[in-house]
Chains A and B, each alone.
Chain A
């Protein structure tokens, strides 16, 4: 009896610690949300904690009417969609042939691919290559250089390995070729891994920063993270700041909060729905990686 009581107290302590964790994760987001919705004056008076003071949508209006910022959001969305599709196709057509145990040269291909996971040439060789390919400052540079991740390919390959080989064999007996088997049997069974990898690639592109910083100097092609960095660090303030009223430092602070919200919300709306999938994805990757 004593034992079960003490273990019940233990349960509540654990639950309380988890509650603290939730707070620590959420408070920074709530703080920024509150700041973005407050009046500049309230911000300057240090009144804003977790709840907006003097509810005010001005910052959101300013951001939404700023063509540079809205274009960057749209452009990043376009990049994310194209990039994710390209990456998924490449990952699939890379992983699928490698699941054929009898594929001649399979070991060679595997070594060729896995080696790049442990040794990479580095930033400058990549930069010089892109320069020689005259890809620098052109839109494809934001998609091509990192469009196929070995780690994600291994996740997909492991998932394909889990599909019973008897399905493939019976289709082969019916005269189906490898591509047909991929499209008609493997892909329909792989929705969960496709969902996982879509999330990984899409988040990677949406959050991608350093490739744009290094390889892209045309402002009309700045993805959202690069623009956001410039806004947060007051570089080239014309971006969102051309509107009148910018002179008040408070408004600039609410503006910064609003721009952070816009860049964050799309991801926060997507990831919880895919939780079940990405957990299996990460687990498969860890086991086989």
Chain B
């Protein structure tokens, strides 16, 4: 009885031993990347408790005393802070506009490129359309500052010559918002077509031939064949975009903002930088960051399960 029980366990141990003897180098390879994830992704998560504690420079996060109001002191403070409420509003406003204006743009462009019959011309157009994606927001803000300068910028010089009043693209809150959105589309529209164009190649060309024989024109083919073919890709990217609705970029608003448009340009990431790294209010800004991450995860899951409810595949 005893031998019968212990025998298989010995052989399993033996098997495991042999396995590790043969493949230990795989674990050796993983050692460094896993260490990276633990140090730079997971240890910062232990710092999240600072959001619920009174920050002290001499103590580790584990030793700091709990904040008032059952630890929620800093969340209450954040929502009583006008700058944070503005930042929250601006983040939502800019991201929603990005979603409404920026999300359809690459789909339309991909449809356009797909209709272009000249192969070489198509490739050149694509190469040039990808270019803005490779520019940093600092460089784009440099381009925009010069292009849209109130008096000596190219656009306002041309407007002036045609007898129109100059437009304060970057110096007036309402105009700034639209400039911000348009520059975002300019930067990303070409790059974002890549995924859609790849999805288009998967559509069976026989469908188009059959439609032509039935007398369908260009628009009908786009509507009945191309767009349905893009549907899964569109849904997936829409889910990911919804997950980012409260996420905030830093470089883009930070590079484009100036003191005249603070009322619309200060988003959550800039609030965190100003109050945290410059203002040293670590508990408050960690709380804000946690709020932002948590909402993002909730939105991502929400959008995903909504998509599944409507019979789509979702991202998991």
Q: How far is the CA of A233 from the CA of B236 in the complex (A)?
A: 39
B200 to chain A, nearest CB (A): 11
Q: Return the contact of B40 from the options A7, A50, A144 (Cβ within 8 A).
A: A144
Residues in A whose Cβ lies below 8 Å from that of B254: 209-210, 213
B260 to chain A, nearest CB (A): 13
Residues in B whose Cβ lies below 8 Å from that of A247: none
Residue pair A25, B128 in contact (C-beta under 8 Å)? yes
Q: Return the contact of B117 from the options A11, A124, A210 (Cβ within 8 A).
A: A11
Q: How far is the CA of A143 from the CA of B147 in the complex (A)?
A: 33
B188 to chain A, nearest CB (A): 12
Residue pair A10, B218 in contact (C-beta under 8 Å)? yes
In the complex, whether B250 has a CB less than 8 A from a CB of chain A is yes
Residue pair B272, A122 in contact (C-beta under 8 Å)? yes
In the complex, whether A142 has a CB less than 8 A from a CB of chain B is no
Consensus secondary structure, chain A interface: helix
Residues in B whose Cβ lies below 8 Å from that of A225: 136, 138-139
Minimum CB distance partner of B136 in chain A: A207
Q: Return the contact of A272 from the options B36, B122, B127 (Cβ within 8 A).
A: B127
In the complex, whether B179 has a CB less than 8 A from a CB of chain A is no
**Interface stretch (choices B4-12, B19-27, B223-231, B306-314):** B19-27
In the complex, whether A246 has a CB less than 8 A from a CB of chain B is no
Q: Return the contact of B127 from the options A94, A178, A275 (Cβ within 8 A).
A: A275
Q: Measuring CB to CB, which residues of chain B are less than 8 angstroms from any residue of chain A?
A: 16, 19, 22-23, 25-27, 29-30, 32-34, 36-37, 39-45, 47-48, 50, 109, 112-113, 115-118, 121-122, 124-132, 134-139, 141-147, 151-152, 154, 157-158, 160, 186, 190-191, 194-195, 198, 217-218, 233, 236, 243, 250-251, 254-255, 258, 269, 272-273, 276-277, 282, 285-286, 289-290, 292-293, 297, 300
Residues in A whose Cβ lies below 8 Å from that of B45: 121, 125
Minimum CB distance partner of A112 in chain B: B37
In the complex, whether A56 has a CB less than 8 A from a CB of chain B is no
Q: Return the contact of A124 from the options B23, B43, B141, B285 (Cβ within 8 A).
A: B285
Residues in A whose Cβ lies below 8 Å from that of B217: 3, 6-7
Residues in A whose Cβ lies below 8 Å from that of B243: 118
Q: Return the contact of B116 from the options A14, A116, A147, A207 (Cβ within 8 A).
A: A14
In the complex, whether A24 has a CB less than 8 A from a CB of chain B is yes
Residue pair A125, B286 in contact (C-beta under 8 Å)? yes
In the complex, whether A173 has a CB less than 8 A from a CB of chain B is no
- Digitize A103-135: 1 where CB-to-B-CB distance is under 8 Å, 0 elsewhere: 110000100110010111111111111000000
Q: How far is the CA of A17 from the CA of B129 in the complex (A)?
A: 13
**Interface stretch (choices A26-34, A58-66, A237-245):** A26-34
Q: How far is the CA of A128 from the CA of B202 in the complex (A)?
A: 47
In the complex, whether A78 has a CB less than 8 A from a CB of chain B is no
Residue pair B44, A121 in contact (C-beta under 8 Å)? yes
Residues in B whose Cβ lies below 8 Å from that of A98: 30
Residue pair A25, B129 in contact (C-beta under 8 Å)? yes
Residue pair A100, B26 in contact (C-beta under 8 Å)? yes
Contact A271-B276, Cβ < 8 Å, known A232-B138, A263-B139: no
Residues in B whose Cβ lies below 8 Å from that of A14: 112, 115-117
Residue pair A28, B143 in contact (C-beta under 8 Å)? yes
Q: How far is the CA of A121 from the CA of B47 in the complex (A)?
A: 8
In the complex, whether A229 has a CB less than 8 A from a CB of chain B is yes
Minimum CB distance partner of B315 in chain A: A289
A36 to chain B, nearest CB (A): 10
Minimum CB distance partner of A233 in chain B: B258
Minimum CB distance partner of A43 in chain B: B152
Q: Return the contact of B198 from the options A123, A146, A206, A283 (Cβ within 8 A).
A: A283
Residue pair A145, B40 in contact (C-beta under 8 Å)? yes
Residue pair A109, B30 in contact (C-beta under 8 Å)? yes
Q: How far is the CA of A43 from the CA of B37 in the complex (A)?
A: 51
What are 16 sample pairs from A and B whose C-beta atoms fall under 8 A apart? A7-B218, A21-B190, A25-B131, A26-B131, A50-B154, A90-B32, A97-B29, A112-B37, A122-B289, A122-B293, A123-B273, A209-B254, A210-B250, A210-B251, A210-B254, A283-B194
Residues in B whose Cβ lies below 8 Å from that of A11: 115-117
In the complex, whether A154 has a CB less than 8 A from a CB of chain B is no
A199 to chain B, nearest CB (A): 9
Residue pair A126, B32 in contact (C-beta under 8 Å)? no
Contact A44-B152, Cβ < 8 Å, known A15-B118, A18-B113, A279-B198: yes
Q: How far is the CA of A260 from the CA of B146 in the complex (A)?
A: 11
Contact A268-B286, Cβ < 8 Å, known A31-B146, A97-B29: no
Known: A129-B39, A213-B273, A256-B142. 16 other contacts (CB 8 A): A25-B129, A31-B143, A35-B146, A90-B33, A94-B29, A122-B48, A123-B289, A128-B47, A129-B43, A146-B40, A147-B36, A148-B33, A214-B273, A257-B146, A260-B139, A263-B139
